[in-house]
Amino acid sequence: MTKFKRSDFNKIKTISVKKRKSKVRPSDFGKVFDGKEGLFKDFAESLPHILVAEDLRSLVEDIVASRRKKKPVIFMMGAHVVKVGLTPIVIDLIKDDIVTAVAMNSAAAIHDVETALWGQTSEDVAINLLDGTFGMARETGEFINGTLAEAYRKSDAGYGEALGERLLAEKAPNADVSILAHCYANDIPVTVHAAIGTDIIHQQPTMNGAATGELSFRDFQVLSELCSQLTGGGVVLNVGSAVILPEVFLKALTVARNLGAKAKGFTTAVFDMNNHYRPTMNVRLRPTQDGGRGYYFAGHHEIMIPLLAAMIKANT
């Protein structure tokens, strides 16, 4: 005989499954999509009405509703957006007046410039690191650092604006796939946020710390002004930036609110390969805690962003 008392399960009260609150029904299940006959909109509707698939639908609805109300859609991006070939997708959203502003880290600007001018980017870091040539592409440093230094001396343009203008002035051979060039050509704010020491152009003789810092600061002011428009609507997307842009966005939003903007009631969404602390806290949760909504989508950018873009276009 055991010396420990046990609960008497015979006394447990059960309920009918028909009265129980349940979250999933067959009507929520995914549907078979006939790729030979159906339209993309049919495919999007075929996704289950459950968990992240339903979150993605809700985000699309928020983006479409925001643009109908003339509220901003700010696309914040890390370098992988360019490296995995998504610039045509982003440019198309800009042309269709869906994305109204772009903010990128300076690595994204480097990849954008290299693609626009020379049709190649994303060097083999592991190989080039062995002999000290990693990041020493002369032309990249001369073009970007030179552009920033000239703008520092002669204009009040920001980092992104100066690069976009220069790419067009130089008639970059691949400007058609440059986010910087398209933003400048279409009067779309494009901001670049540098952390000195993080990028290959910072380790070259042409680097001008004063110019880089000043033009990035100007862009921080632009982003702060954009955040002031997130009043009662709007969407902020953070695609592939785990540290820089989540931190910059949180401060820009704080500036906007400090200056009197009622920047609340908007939607944020993070797209990244993994779940990270800063995007979770500084994009999804903290900015939306007073009347907004935040989402997090983990997956490969080269799949998730075309899917998002196609769903938006199917609903506009």
Q: Are 45 and 285 in contact (CB under 8 A)?
A: no
| Cβ 144 vs Cβ 110: under 8 Å | yes
Please tell me the pTM assigned to this model. 0.92
| CA separation, residue 230 to residues 71, 72, 94, 235 (Å) | 7, 7, 18, 8
192 contact partners, CB below 8 Å, separation of at least 6: 103, 104, 105, 106, 108, 109, 158, 159, 160, 163, 215, 216, 219
Residue 219 and residue 181: Cα distance in Å, rounded? 16
Instruction: Walk along the chain (316 residues) and give the pLDDT tens digit of each residue.
Output: 789 999 999 999 999 999 999 999 999 999 998 877 778 999 999 999 999 999 999 999 999 999 999 999 999 999 999 999 999 999 999 999 999 999 999 999 999 999 999 998 877 677 777 777 776 778 999 999 999 999 999 999 999 999 999 999 999 999 999 999 999 999 999 999 999 999 999 999 999 999 999 999 999 999 999 999 999 999 999 999 999 999 999 999 999 999 999 999 999 999 999 999 999 999 999 999 989 999 999 999 999 999 999 999 999 8
Give the SS3 label for residue 198.
Answer: coil
Domains defined along the chain, listed by start:
52-314 (3.40.910.10)
